[in-house]
Structure 1
Amino acid sequence: MFGNDRDAMRRYYCQSWQKFQLKHPLDALEQQIAQVVAEHPEYHHLLTNDERAVQHTYQPEQGQTNPFLHMGLHLGIREQAATNRPVGILALYQHLTHKFGTLEAEHHMMECLAESLWLAQRNNTAPDEIKYLECLKKL
């Protein structure tokens, strides 16, 4: 939707959260974003300052978590479960959410997803769905 436009994507998160707080109507994606943001109160202050949120560079080597990446991984996992793509992930998602609760299960799953995406980027290949599912099964 945003291509490589990081700033536009970050602004969309901020706008979705602001619309939610103002009780304005939300489209489907805005609703999903607002739900994930609501589940992460540690990010609320960030999303009320559009320019700070848009411009900040997060440094993992300095122990900083990128909240947009974090929330985006939640959205990705939820979309995967909703579409059962890769095939079999819905059953794993249901098992893990029953075992850990939704948010904690997704946090565990995000590690597997992030590793799968990182390896695909590093190797310039498509993500390996089989290895991804195997990682999830170990949880």
Structure 2
Amino acid sequence: MWSTDREALRQVFYAAWRHFREHAPLNGVETLIVEALLAHPEYQGLFADASSSPATAAQTASDVNPFLHLGLHIAVAEQIATDRPPGVVSQWRRLEGLWPDGHRARHAMMECLEETLWEAQRQGVAPDDTAYLERLRATPKGRSQK
């Protein structure tokens, strides 16, 4: 799921939720979006109406951007499915063993990914897979227990 058109990307989220609610077939990325939304009922109402303002959906009461949050869920799901970067699946299994709730394990991975992406963006470089894997290995030490 890649595009430089933020609005087009956001419409994919709205369409996925609409297809799910209408019991229409979902494509690959729509399935990942719906899985993430099902794990986050607090966001579901934001995606019920594609004509609603994206700015409204972009900020929730918790000050979490739901597009970013759900996008990180999708990125982590794709990493686990492909073991990319190599070694991420073993870290996933270790984290999943720490928390019986796979959702919490994914959130721990998302925190590491978000930090890695932020650092890369700040430095104007590609994300550092080695640094990301090191952050995962260090989890849960020093990480919040959401």
TM over 0.5: yes
Higher helix share: 1
Tell me the CA shift for residue 19 of structure 1: 0.6
Relative to structure 2, which stretch is displaced further, 62-71 or 26-35? 62-71
Query: Aligned Cα RMSD in Å?
Result: 1.9
Residues 10 and 53 in structure 1, CA contact (< 8 A), matched pair in contact too: no
Residues 59 and 66 in structure 2, CA contact (< 8 A), matched pair in contact too: no
Tell me the CA shift for residue 11 of structure 1: 1.1
1:25, 1:131 → 2: CA distance?
Answer: 38
Paired position in structure 2 for 1:79: 78
Runs of 4+ in 1 over 4 A off after TM superposition: 57-60
Q: 1:24 to 1:59 in 2, by over 3 A?
A: closer
Structure 2: stretches of 5+ with no match in the other structure:
140-146
Aligned residue pair count: 138
Question: Which amino acid in structure 1 is aligned with residue 81 of structure 2?
Answer: A
Query: What is the 5 A alignment of 1:1-139?
Result: 1-56=1-56, 58=58, 64-100=63-99, 101-139=101-139
Q: 1:53 to 1:114 in 2, by over 3 A?
A: farther
Tell me the CA shift for residue 51 of structure 1: 3.0
1:53, 1:129 → 2: CA distance?
Answer: 35
1:80, 1:19 → 2: CA distance?
Answer: 25
1:57, 1:65 → 2: CA distance?
Answer: 10
SS of equivalent residue, structure 1 residue 126: coil
Question: Which amino acid in structure 1 is aligned with residue 50 of structure 2?
Answer: D
Percent identity between the two aligned chains:
38
2:59, 2:42 → 1: CA distance?
Answer: 17
Residues 7 and 55 in structure 1, CA contact (< 8 A), matched pair in contact too: no
Tell me the CA shift for residue 127 of structure 1: 0.8
Residues 89 and 133 in structure 1, CA contact (< 8 A), matched pair in contact too: yes
1:78, 1:11 → 2: CA distance?
Answer: 20
TM-score by length of 1: 0.90
1:38, 1:25 → 2: CA distance?
Answer: 16
Tell me the CA shift for residue 68 of structure 1: 0.7
